[in-house]
Structure 1
Amino acid sequence: MTSDLGPRADRPVAGRPDPAVADELGMTVYDVARDLRRDVEDVRLPLPIDGAREAGASRGRLVAQLDEHLLPRLRELSSPAIVVVAGSTGAGKSTLYNSLLGEEVSKAGVLRPTTREPVLAFNPLDKEVVHEGPATEASRVVYHDGVPRGTALLDAPDLDSFLADNRTTAQQMLEAADLWLFVTTASRYGDALPWQALSRATERGASVAMVLNRVPTETLKTVRADLMLRLREHGMTDVPLFVVPDVGPHEGLLDPSVVQPVRRWLTLLAGPERSRAVIVRTLKGALGALPQWVTSLADAVDAQGEAAHTIRTVVEKERPAAEKLARDGVAAGVVAGASVEARWRELSGSAKVDRVKVKNDTVRSTRRAGRRREEALTGLRADVEAAAARTLTAAGGRVEERLRAVLTAPGAPAGGSAVLPDAAARTAAREKAVTATVEAWSARAADVVALLGDGDRVTAAVKAFGPHGLGTLLLAAAAGSDDAARLLGRTLGDAHADAVTALRDDLADRAAAVVGAELDAVLTALDTPNLADDAASGLRVRLSELKRLT
């Protein structure tokens, strides 16, 4: 008979293992496994280099192994040993499961997938030692007298179910199990799926048994011999193998004599002490498999750091030439361009800003005329700022294009394309930064004007153009306007040269900073603990602890 499990207690998420764990494996094993789980969870492999995808998948399996089996088992060693009945679609595992129990507990039939919800059966006498965990939470739990005491039988969904959720659940159930009873058929035992699943069992150190189902009598000897050979080739010489002959079309349970060898084997595992031995053996196997697993993951993390170092080196190698090109472009005095020249011609014709009188090296003007010139020069400043912004934006854009070529072309460092920022986002960020930096450069003109001093020629020039207007002329000259430079020479003499040079040098520095920001945008993506030189140190510590324990 069967009965549904009553209300479930909250699953423990922390704490110490029970005394049985301390007796069998030692208290520190749980601590090491818990710390390992934390460090593995923290691992990220952001660079798509060779092996990263596989290492990421291995990381996920390791977390699942720790979450679904090792940590729950280390906490609650007294709970019955979970034997999962697993296999591919149509292998007959649900029929075998029901036949072992002597009652149709798990739905079996010709429609696929038959097993949608895992079914976990315990012996009623084990009810007091059943603990909540991943397997009970994901399954329909029943108590049945046909389950040998000290064990639990779990019927999992098909490993190759066409429903993704079923496949995921099947994998989770395998991770939660202490022993795998893998069911395949005489026609499908050579498929890749059974051997992939068995390899995963070996990888995590799980105990495994195999059922070869529906074997025709005339080929039984040949098929069994071939399967035994395959098991030896995969290093599974100690795997128990049960052969269930083909009984032809049928409905319901198999004859008890057909499944008696499997039932007898399960009975041999029964009883608290014997099932506990299975659990401990599987735990020790799983713990013994962890060092190689963790080593591979740590090596993958180190490879990420090495790739990041290579990318940094390649990017930094571009910096000197990129900054020099940006500085030289400003220093050449070509920032102003046609737009500034056109504006100057307009101002010269309408506002006559360049037709000031100079007597005895000093400009002569009224304050009213100076205010008119200052207002007229507002448009020139806008054009100069726009020209400077175009120059700096173009310089940054060239560097971005260069980096994309360097990091994506044949021979580029591994993973380089992954650290390139989004092109549209980078363009928006550059334009925003350039706007701010040009505004700051323009504002600097006021300080430069103030540094000219209060001599007669300077005072007269300020009166003739206004302080803002005089600053505009200095900016225009710094940007490369010969007309502005000649006017400043007439009104200020040689005093303007240092001021123009200061503004030009300042703009050159800002241009270098703009292209530097393009380089830094890539380097920032590498500035993460996951790519640090010591990123694998935590895993290496856990590895040394595991080796001492195993």
Structure 2
Amino acid sequence: MTTTPRSGRLLGGRADADAAGEIGLTVHDVARDLRRDVADVRLPLPVDGAAEATASRDRLLAQLDEHLLPRLRELSSPAVVVVAGSTGAGKSTLYNSLLGEEVSAAGVLRPTTREPVLAFNPADADVIADGPATELSRVIHHAGVPRGTALLDAPDLDSFDQGNRSTAHQLLEGADLWLFVTTASRYGDALPWQALSRATERGASVAMVLNRVPKENLPTIRGDLMERLRSHGMTDTPLFVVPDVGPHEGLLDESVVAPVKRWLTMLAGPERSRAVVVRTLKGSLHALPAWVTTLADAVEHQGEAVDALRRVVDAEIPAARKLARDAVLAGVVAGASVESRWRELSGTVGIDRITVKGDRVRSTRRRGRTRSAALDVLRDDVAGAAARTLTASGARVEDRLRGVLTGPTGPPGGSHVTPVEAERVAAREAAVPATVAAWTAGGDERVTALAAAPSAPVAAAAKAFGDRGLATLLLAAAAGSDDAVRLLGRVVPGGLADDVTWLREDLAARAETVVDDEVAAVHAALDAPDLADDAAAALRLRLAELRRLT
């Protein structure tokens, strides 16, 4: 295998070991960047395939963290051979027999392998790389391990202890080679083939030990197992058969494990073990593009779901804005509370008992200040009625959006982008009073503008009610108080109808803004970076780099 430094593409030709030094230099940066971009992937919308893609992302991160990146950083470290398998397959007995010494617990109690054991030749002590294998295991030096390899006894893959199962799978992700142990009675179980499929998926090297095989059944069982391996695309997988030696304690006879030991010895030596490492790295690298493609496709599927959600939301906007606007323009904002307050003020301070001579109202300034102060409570009632109208408009929109996004016919992922109801209530409670305050301030500004170019009737009305009181009458009329409209018509020719209309239109526009705020809350969720149109761009870039490398 050779490497072209400019492109980093791995080509067949020289021995794998010759490229070991260069492979890390050409691939490590790409793998590191890939790891960063994969870790950044989020699939928040619960659309079809999202959960599976998230699990695949987590496995890809584990593969990068526990095998590929550590290996690319330190290619001279011994090749890690993990002895793995199901409960009772005889892994620890085989492991001890290969070393010629009982260093890992073996017996009838389950699970026997509670603590992983990693053994390597003392001569490799200066090059052993730290990683999951060293961090999770009891590490020993043992001369029985061929130089350039490290032999690891892992917990049972199907251990009833969750911690043991998790450790076993983590160690397998970090292995250079799997020595998978099964038995004549259990090789057809689903677990071995699930584990072997994971190995094939990530490009790991695998060998299999078929343990406890009765001599009379050997041809049939071996033939069936070989056929299964071929059907799983594992034609070149080395297969070692250990005959059934009956009940026994301690180590297996040397002759029984000799084929496996010879195979391990063939892998021994720095150059040969590095060739195993590089072959596994090549397998891992060749497996990455399909893995990353699937993940990038899942990210883009999220974007397609966002487009569908956005169309549903945006389709609701015109009708929602019209409904909110019409609720104001219908002139019914004031309601019963304002009418009741008007009757009270009419009876207590005679708010509408005024004298009009010619085209202007007659009043003293002192009397005007009294009316202005009395009208403050009416202003509060008008503001409260406007706030309730705007709040109701917002709540209707929220309910409608919730219905179209999460109902039976809603698009996939709608529940994720629908705001929390309590949060929207709090947001409206915070925003609507400020919106209404700005509207009432607009009434004061209209009176200020009238005073800048006063007519005699307007000046007289401002004297009779005060500037603030006159603005309150304008606001009440805009909110739909017929009493306020009639009074303004009495004190000012034309009743300041243009100003009333302007204030009513202004409140209608602010009602539309409340609608827009509800829509914006959904849009904010849809505009999250994880759901952006280019969210998969980084993965596609890494994919292009991987394809150039492989």
Q: TM-score, normalised by structure 2?
A: 0.93
Residue 312 (structure 1) aligns with: 310
Residue 249 (structure 1) aligns with: 247
Residue 106 (structure 1) aligns with: 104
SS in 2 for 1:452: helix
> Structure 1 residue aligned with 2:429, among 431, 436, 444?
431
* 1:490 to 2:497 alignment: no
1:161/1:441 CA distance change after superposition, 3 Å? farther
Residue 10 (structure 1) aligns with: none
SS in 1 for 2:337: helix
Once the 2 structures are TM-superposed, how far is the Cα of residue 429 of structure 1 from its aligned partner?
A: 1.1
For residues 35-434 of structure 1, the aligned pairs below 5 Å read: 35-434=33-432
Partner Cα distance (1:94, 1:534) in 2: 50
- Structure 1 residue identity aligned to 2:460: A
Q: TM-score, normalised by structure 1?
A: 0.93
Deviations 1:241-270 (A, max 9, x none): 122233333332222222222112111111
Partner Cα distance (1:419, 1:162) in 2: 39
Deviations 1:17-37 (A, max 9, x none): xx9766442622112111111
- Structure 2 residue identity aligned to 1:287: L
SS in 1 for 2:178: strand
Residue 6 (structure 1) aligns with: none
1:234/1:377 CA distance change after superposition, 3 Å? same
Partner Cα distance (1:283, 1:248) in 2: 39
Residue 539 (structure 1) aligns with: 539
Once the 2 structures are TM-superposed, how far is the Cα of residue 495 of structure 1 from its aligned partner?
A: 5.3
* Count of residues in correspondence between the two structures: 532
Once the 2 structures are TM-superposed, how far is the Cα of residue 67 of structure 1 from its aligned partner?
A: 1.0
Partner Cα distance (2:187, 2:457) in 1: 100
Partner Cα distance (1:349, 1:268) in 2: 109
Partner Cα distance (2:401, 2:186) in 1: 52
488-497 vs 332-341, which moves further: 488-497
* 1:509 to 2:494 alignment: no
Deviations 1:104-130 (A, max 9, x none): 212223333332332111111111221
Partner Cα distance (2:216, 2:99) in 1: 29
Partner Cα distance (1:111, 1:506) in 2: 81
**Aligned CA-pair RMSD:** 1.7
- Structure 1 residue identity aligned to 2:513: A
Residue 4 (structure 2) aligns with: none
Q: Do 1:82 and 1:179's aligned partners in 2 also have CA atoms closer than 8 Å?
A: yes
- Structure 1 residue identity aligned to 2:504: R
Once the 2 structures are TM-superposed, how far is the Cα of residue 74 of structure 1 from its aligned partner?
A: 1.0
* 1:456 to 2:456 alignment: yes
Residue 500 (structure 1) aligns with: 500
Partner Cα distance (1:215, 1:354) in 2: 108
SS in 2 for 1:187: coil
Residue 10 (structure 2) aligns with: none
SS in 1 for 2:118: strand
Partner Cα distance (1:66, 1:167) in 2: 20
- Structure 1 residue identity aligned to 2:542: R
Once the 2 structures are TM-superposed, how far is the Cα of residue 85 of structure 1 from its aligned partner?
A: 1.0
Q: Do 1:21 and 1:76's aligned partners in 2 also have CA atoms closer than 8 Å?
A: no
Residue 3 (structure 1) aligns with: none
407-416 vs 171-180, which moves further: 407-416
- Structure 1 residue identity aligned to 2:483: D
Q: Do 2:20 and 2:75's aligned partners in 1 also have CA atoms closer than 8 Å?
A: no
Partner Cα distance (2:419, 2:186) in 1: 48
Partner Cα distance (2:450, 2:495) in 1: 7
- Structure 1 residue identity aligned to 2:96: N
Once the 2 structures are TM-superposed, how far is the Cα of residue 221 of structure 1 from its aligned partner?
A: 2.9
Q: Do 2:24 and 2:73's aligned partners in 1 also have CA atoms closer than 8 Å?
A: no
Once the 2 structures are TM-superposed, how far is the Cα of residue 78 of structure 1 from its aligned partner?
A: 0.6
Partner Cα distance (1:293, 1:330) in 2: 56
1:26/1:97 CA distance change after superposition, 3 Å? closer
Once the 2 structures are TM-superposed, how far is the Cα of residue 436 of structure 1 from its aligned partner?
A: 1.8
SS in 1 for 2:125: helix
Deviations 1:364-408 (A, max 9, x none): 112222222222222211111111111111111111111111112
SS in 2 for 1:25: helix
Structure 2: which 5+ runs fail to align? 1-16
- Structure 2 residue identity aligned to 1:411: T
Partner Cα distance (2:345, 2:243) in 1: 103
1:26/1:135 CA distance change after superposition, 3 Å? closer
435-444 vs 303-312, which moves further: 435-444
- Structure 2 residue identity aligned to 1:439: A
- Structure 1 residue identity aligned to 2:221: V
Residue 479 (structure 1) aligns with: 479
Q: Do 2:20 and 2:274's aligned partners in 1 also have CA atoms closer than 8 Å?
A: no
Residue 13 (structure 1) aligns with: none
Partner Cα distance (1:513, 1:354) in 2: 35
Deviations 1:156-203 (A, max 9, x none): 122222333222222211111100111122222222211111111111
User: Which stretches of structure 1, 4 residues or longer, exceed 4 Å deviation after superposition?
Assistant: 19-22
Deviations 1:228-247 (A, max 9, x none): 22111111111111222333
Residue 549 (structure 2) aligns with: 549
236-245 vs 23-32, which moves further: 23-32
Partner Cα distance (1:504, 1:91) in 2: 83
Partner Cα distance (1:44, 1:427) in 2: 28
Q: Percent identity?
A: 73
Structure 1: which 5+ runs fail to align? 1-18
